[in-house]
Amino acid sequence: MDRVQIAKRLGRPLVLVGLMGAGKTSIGRRVADRLGWRFRDSDHEVEEAAGRSVSEIFADFGEAAFRDGERRVIARLLEEPGHCVIALGGGAFIHDETRALIKDKALSVWLKADIDTLMERVSRRDTRPLLQTDDPRAVMETLLAERGPVYAEADIHVTSPDATHEGAVLAILEAMAERVEAQG
């Protein structure tokens, strides 16, 4: 049986965590396609539930309200029947209650990337509320320093390359297969 077939037997959702620009959505879609699973992006799901963009939610209600809605959406996604890959917004895994829920219900993967790769990727769009500042690189460096130890609590760590995502996809599938094999 190949690694994809073994990984499909995981029996839990797969949740991708990491900083904005790490490739959670792009890599998550590819992993879901390989597995034949559904893909969900928590930021998109929050926007659908709220009827407004993440930037608008931050501006109108603040980060605390956004995080509360985000937690509820993630809880719903983790309870959906069938298999899925969920890409989280960069701050979701940082919150204790959300992280505990993910640890209980899913297999988490930290997609890591170096600061230059992250900055190159996030500079392509201006929709990141936390980067609406005079020095977005300083913000990203601070976020990496603060969030890195929490992201390190994820079950699996994979480096998101600056070129193709295929290496990260294969590393995730391999780690999933190893988990399934270890479960017996």
147 is in an annotated binding site: yes
25 is in an annotated binding site: yes
Q: Are strands 38-41 and 84-87 parallel, antiparallel or unpaired?
A: parallel
52 is in an annotated binding site: no
- Rounded CA-CA distance 61/65 in Å is 6
67 is in an annotated binding site: yes
134 is in an annotated binding site: no
DSSP string, 9-69: GG-S-EEEE-STTS-HHHHHHHHHHHHT-EEEEHHHHHHHHHTS-HHHHHHHH-HHHHHHH
69 is in an annotated binding site: no
Return the bridge partners of 40, or none: 86
22 is in an annotated binding site: yes
Phi, psi (rounded to 5 degrees) for 108: -105, 145
128 is in an annotated binding site: yes
CA 113 to chain CA centroid, Å, is 13
**Closest CA relative to residue 99, chosen from 168, 149, 49:** 149
Q: Residue ranges for the binding site for ATP?
A: 21-26, 128
Q: Residue ranges for the binding site for substrate?
A: 43, 67, 90, 147
Q: Residue ranges for the binding site for Mg(2+)?
A: 25
Q: Residue ranges for the binding site?
A: 21-26, 43, 67, 90, 128, 147
